[in-house]
Amino acid sequence: MQTRAIETPESWLRTAATLAEALPYMRRFSGETFIIKYGGHAMGDPSLASKFAADVVLLKQVGIHPVVVHGGGPQISQMLERLKIQSSFVDGLRVTDASAVEIVEMVLSGTINKQIVSEINAAGGMAVGISGKDGRLIEARKLRRATRDPDSNIERILDLGFVGEPHTINPAILEEFHDSNLIPVIAPIGRGPGGETYNINADTVAGALAAAMAACKLIILTDVPGVLTPEGQVISELTLREAKHLLKDGIISGGMIPKVDTCIHALENDVEASHILDGRLPHVLLIETFTQHGAGTMITQEMVK
């Protein structure tokens, strides 16, 4: 004999209403590709990591093709510190010499990548971890940054070492996953023209993959609620034109600038919508994908009716 706690009809109705609300979105996005950049606090909190993995498995279960791209800055810093390898940052980018890039690849492609794969598999999915070097997924080139001395107005080129940017994306390997149950988890490492390894910003990799695959959605998980007004209110929807104006006017500033730039690049390359979501919010992927009110900031070509 089995027993269960008595539930009120109201709880049944809420559950049924949630499923009914989700159904149109399940039908709308079935067969579509979502590129999801996973990082920040969500990746370091075991409870949030478990919920993220379950959400990704659910997306796959309803016919969506999630592709996860992960970061790992804090973990890299911890390992470099343990090994007494010094590193510095310029404009938010880690200067990566030959000794550091070996550690970066080890942490990203090894430790972190396999942790995420294990979480997704534990949640009932079938994840496979790869880096941008596998199958020539990401052909990279050296990233060059210029800085101008405010006194002399002389511009000089900064050498960031083995920091790269995507030059060519070869998405064929990812397209092979579409007709399978496999969920790709990608470490943001690229291969240079001479076979050298390049460390690439995970947001940049996610945006480049989304553009190359003409994904339905680019989703960036971060540690803020979304794009904010000067008063601290979340802007729930932006058009491409509005996002560019906010950048030009300085309303979007600091670390949000490269994220919005990545979203704009994706939209200009046939991605339907870009999202900046608060990864600290449990099940934020499901809230954004399967509810009418959504979450965070959505940027589209035109305002969604």
Residues 157 and 126: beta-carbon distance below 8 Å: no
Cα–Cα dist 51/15, whole Å: 19
Lateral strand order in the sheet of 33-38: 126-131, 182-187, 65-70, 33-38, 217-222, 273-278, 297-300, 237-239
- Per-residue burial over 63-76, b = 16 or more CB atoms within 10 Å of its CB, e = otherwise: ebbbbbbbbbbebb
Any alpha helices (H) in 8-45, and if so which ranges?
9-29, 41-44
| Reported pTM | 0.89
Using one digit for the tens of pLDDT, what is the confidence trace for 140-175?
998 877 665 556 556 656 667 788 899 999 988 888
Cα–Cα dist 56/65, whole Å: 9
CATH code of the region 31-300 = 3.40.1160.10
**What is the mean pLDDT, run by run of 10 residues, along the chain of 305 residues?**
62 80 89 93 86 96 95 82 75 74 88 95 95 93 71 63 89 85 95 92 94 94 89 89 89 86 92 94 92 87 63
Using one digit for the tens of pLDDT, what is the confidence trace for 192-217?
999 999 999 999 999 999 999 999 99
At 62, the amino acid letter reads V
